[in-house]
Structure 1
């Protein structure tokens, strides 16, 4: 079966930026699958958006569970035939100063923010190959910028507690670059555009909703990159003002 509408998968989509991204993509006419580790929470979010008349459904998806990710990809293949947009939004933040961060805490963060992205992307590539205009957006963070951090830029948030988080997002940015280069040399994926997006300091559960930007504002750049035209960029790092320094 092949869906007539463009099909998008957003991971971690039951709340916050992920939910706002799912809503905005559906408002643009895409059929959106709300990936959620908890199916119940995903269904609650999907029910809310469906009441708005939006074409969304919940999909159980724990990015740290390869078997579950594979089952989700098979479900998408059976129901829709392809995938046009993948938004790797699911993320984990557990604040801890550098000198107190243990290897186990570091692994937990990388398991979701890095290895989870590779797991979902790898499982999704056969479906993305079937799309005439595939897009991948990796949700990163301005705090992952090596340039801005080196230059001492005053980045928002708890600077002394994001050691593991920013390291994982910097690794995610390198994944974006490496995927972009690999796709460019693969005839079946050369048309796939992949970029990293920084939503900015956005009010979510990760920061106890202390940030000044709304989830809708944070989702703006993600949605723009997910719906790029054929002449749009690939292998870049952007916020809603333009390119972000690596």
Structure 2
């Protein structure tokens, strides 16, 4: 049975992604900063009939928490097949480049970039034990630098000093990580779940968590001939599903 760890999995897209992987027979570890919320999420999934789900306390901005989570998971399984770096923060709805505090920008980067890097580095040894390891970095269509410089893009005016640059940096890290792992069975991709109605954006998005999670699951379950080092975004590129960086 394959195993998956999802950060920020106690609610919203992460929670639905867990449900869909459970439906495919995976054992899923729900990374949650608050262990009680993680336990409640796991209990809900068990009540739906999914037995192979466990909470894992994991704060992606806390090195000690990451190390403890790695140790705890290592006691449960010697192999991790899928890592979905889903935890992320917005940092506020308006982020003008000339007035947004660097403290806000640093806070967003701590979760959206540095947290992803540290979690990936911490769990890479378990992933290397899998015959077909998959890493999915949950990005945003707003992380495309190419489109941000295109006045015809539908989100051209949605600019910000913290969130958008953090996702662009995450995309860059995804490319670098995929390159380092290019001669291995790893598939490393960035996935935009789309503008989804969640607490994250005060439920302003038109998309459903079910559709968003399906995009993550698709990348998490790629076959051996599947792509790596891609920026998947049905929102940015509905015809091809591949967004420009």
TM-score over 0.5 for the pair? yes
Cα-to-partner distance string for 1:122-150 (whole Å, 9 max, x where unaligned):
00100001001100000000011011111
Alignment of 1:33-44 (within 5 A): 33-44=29-40
Match of 2:64 in 1: 67
Return the structure number with greater helix share. Answer: 1
**Unmatched 5+ stretches in structure 2:** none
2 CA distance for matches of 1:167 and 1:19? Answer: 26
Q: Does 1:195 align with 2:178?
A: no
Asked if residue 84 in structure 1 is aligned to residue 94 in structure 2, the reply is no
- State how 1:1-246 maps to structure 2 within 5 Å: 5-54=1-50, 55-95=52-92, 96-152=95-151, 153-155=153-155, 159-160=158-159, 162-185=160-183, 190-240=184-234, 241=238, 242-246=241-245
**The residue matched to 1:243 in structure 2 has which SS?**
coil
Secondary structure, in 3 states, of the residue corresponding to 1:184? coil
| C-alpha distance in 2 between matches for 1:37 and 1:233 | 31
The 3-state SS of whatever aligns with 2:98 is: helix
TM-score (norm 2): 0.93
1:73 Cα deviation from its structure 2 partner: 1.1
For residues 76 and 24 of structure 1, the distance between their equivalents in structure 2, rounded to whole angstroms, comes to: 21
Q: C-alpha deviations, 1:187-229, integer Å up to 9, x for none?
A: xxx1111000001100111210111111111111110000000
What secondary structure does 1:98 align onto? Answer: coil
**Structure 1 unpaired stretches of 5+:** none
Question: Is the Cα contact below 8 Å between 2:82 and 2:135 reproduced in 1?
Answer: yes
Q: Deviations over 1:141-179 (max 9, x none)?
A: 0011011111121129x824x321010000000010000
2:91–2:105: 8 Å Cα contact kept in structure 1? no
Q: Say whether the 8 Å CA contact 1:203–1:211 is kept in structure 2.
A: yes
Work out the number of aligned pairs and report it.
236
Q: Alpha-carbon deviation of 1:235?
A: 0.5
Preserved CA contact (<8 Å) 1:17 1:215: yes
1:47 CA displacement? 0.6
- CA RMSD between the two structures: 1.3
Partners of 2:49 and 2:63 in 1: CA distance: 32
CA distance in structure 2 between the aligned counterparts of 1:239 and 1:159, rounded to whole angstroms = 17
2 CA distance for matches of 1:198 and 1:163? 19
Please identify, of 167-176 and 47-56, the stretch whose mean Cα deviation from structure 2 is larger. Answer: 47-56
